[in-house]
C-alpha cells in the first residue's frame, strides 16, 4: 500500500493551479485531468503519471462509494478499486480509466467515471439512509493539498 503514496507524490510534476485542493473531491478530477493533458502536450511522460492519477481517482471513488484497494484484478499488475459490495460493481481499473482519459484527451473522463459512483452511492443512500461510504483502513498516509 505504500506504493499508493509514492504514486500520488508524482503528481507534483503536473502544472496544477495555485491553491489546488488535493482533497480527492469530485471537483479535483477535471482539474487534475486537464493538468495531465497539458503536461503531456508539453512532452511529459505518460508512464510517470498513470499510477499517480489512478491513485487519485481511486481515492476519490473510495471517498464516494467506499471500498478498498486490491492488486489482484488487473492484467498489468496495476491496483484496482473494489467498491463497497452494496453497489454490485466489479473492480474498477482506475489505471485503465486514466490511460483512456489520456488517449481521448477530452478532459471529461475522470468526472464521468466518478459520476457513476456518485449515482450508485446516492441510490444506496436512498435505499438505506444509514449507509455511508467507508474506505477500508490501509495505513497509508496520503499526501495532502498543495493549497
pLDDT single digits (tens) 112-121 = 999 999 999 9
The confidence score (pLDDT) of residue 97 equals 96
pTM value surpassing 0.85:
yes
Output the DSSP codes for 68-121. Answer: EEESSS-TTS--EEEE-GGG----B-HHHHHHHHHHH--S-HHHHHHHHHHHHH
Contact assessment for residue 55 and residue 4, using Cβ atoms and an 8 Å cutoff? yes
> Which stretches of the chain score pLDDT less than 50?
140, 143-147
> Residues 19-52: pLDDT tens digits?
898 899 999 999 999 999 999 999 988 888 899 9
Amino acid at each position: 500500500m505504500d506504493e499508493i503514496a509514492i504514486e500520488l507524490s508524482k503528481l507534483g510534476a503536473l502544472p496544477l493551479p495555485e491553491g489546488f485542493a488535493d482533497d480527492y473531491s469530485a471537483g479535483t478530477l477535471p482539474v487534475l485531468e486537464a493538468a495531465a493533458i497539458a503536461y503531456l502536450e508539453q512532452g511529459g511522460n505518460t508512464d510517470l503519471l498513470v499510477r499517480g492519477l489512478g491513485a487519485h481517482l481511486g481515492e476519490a471513488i473510495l471517498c464516494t462509494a467506499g471500498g478498498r484497494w486490491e492488486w489482484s484484478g488487473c492484467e498489468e499488475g496495476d491496483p484496482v478499486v473494489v467498491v463497497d459490495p452494496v453497489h454490485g460493481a466489479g473492480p474498477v481499473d482506475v489505471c485503465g480509466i486514466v490511460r483512456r482519459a489520456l488517449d481521448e484527451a477530452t478532459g471529461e473522463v475522470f468526472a464521468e467515471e466518478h459520476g457513476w459512483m456518485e449515482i450508485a452511492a446516492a441510490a444506496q443512500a436512498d435505499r438505506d439512509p444509514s449507509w455511508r461510504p467507508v474506505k477500508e483502513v490501509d495505513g497509508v498516509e496520503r499526501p495532502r493539498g498543495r493549497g
